[in-house]
Amino acid sequence: MSTEPLVIVNQIDPAFGAFLRGLDCAPTVIDTEDPDRPWIIPATTDVLITRGRRWQDAPASAPELPRLRWVQTYSAGVESYPDWLKSGRIVTTGRGLTAPQIAEYILSSMLRVERRIDEIRARSAADWIEPQLGTLEGKTLGVIGYGAIGQETIRRAQAFGMQIVASRRGGWATPVPGIFGLGSAEEVMSRADHLVLALPLTPKTRGMFGSEMFSAARRGQHFVNISRGGLVDQSALISALDAGQLGFATLDVTDPEPLPDGHPLYTHQKVLITPHVSYVGAPEVERFQAKVAANLRAFLAGTEMTDVLVHARGY
């Protein structure tokens, strides 16, 4: 390692730059000056700490960044970053930062469907009737993708007495207590009363949930997507809802975001769309600070870093 101070470009916010300057490794920290063009950074940059804003507009060819050895992203997904930024250097992600609050959003969406609390408000004596309500207890939660979000969701769902079925990319080498590990997403779809997508968006998963996958769903299923809108064929989703194959869809993500005005998903009676906010409401900044500090120590020491991007998987 060079004895020169490490040059870190911070594209999070000024407060995060102040945090970096306070670390004991005494890095030189440059706060971004052009948030609309995050690829414009000094050639002396050793480390880039960035988030997904505007990277989709990056040029196809890489600028000259001969010293850039490590990129830390705030987001868990990396599909919005250009390939040249992710190639030839270490890339670590913000995986898991917002998993607890996303899991709470998922549980809230399932409770809303079962308990219908927004529909049963009494406004007069005439509303004082006993409605037909469901319960999470004894229902089956299906989770496709067993990463941080999937695991946080499962932990909470088990407290409600739900049965858990799940699938994961690498299969199940050993059993996980309390989880029925299944071999495919189709099997999970076929058993779940509430189905949660917790997958990254990669070339292999884009459009994965279309008419064929929905035909495998347990009839009347509640379909929840908090991952990426590009996982879902939205026309096929509408058809499955109209046919009753799916009973309801809660979507915190769409493709594109936002959907254009007049899109049929906005007004569909069996759909709730929220504006990609499931991650909001917990101290992810403090978690990110701890993650970056630990990774920075590992980077300087040449030891193993956490949440390193595996290029072959795309996440």
Catalytic residues: 228, 257, 276
Tokens representing residue 138 in the block: 């004894």
For 97-110, b/e burial (b = at least 16 CB within 10 A) is: bbbbbbbbbbbebb
**Element containing residue 230 per DSSP (H, E):** none
> Would you call the peptide bond into 82 cis, given omega within 30 degrees of 0 as the criterion?
no
Q: Give the sheet arrangement for strand 246-251, strand by strand.
A: 180-181, 163-167, 140-144, 194-197, 221-225, 246-251, 271-273
Q: Give the sheet arrangement for strand 90-92, strand by strand.
A: 28-31, 7-10, 47-50, 70-73, 90-92
Q: How far apart are CA 39 and CA 60, in angstroms?
A: 11
Q: How far apart are CA 33 and CA 67, in angstroms?
A: 19
Measured at the CA of 47, the angle between CA 45 and CA 49, to 5 degrees, comes to: 115
Contact 141, 164 (CB under 8 A): yes
With a CB cutoff of 8 Å and minimum separation 6, the contacts of 184 are 167
State the amino acid at position 161 in one-letter form. G
Tokens representing residue 68 in the block: 């850039």
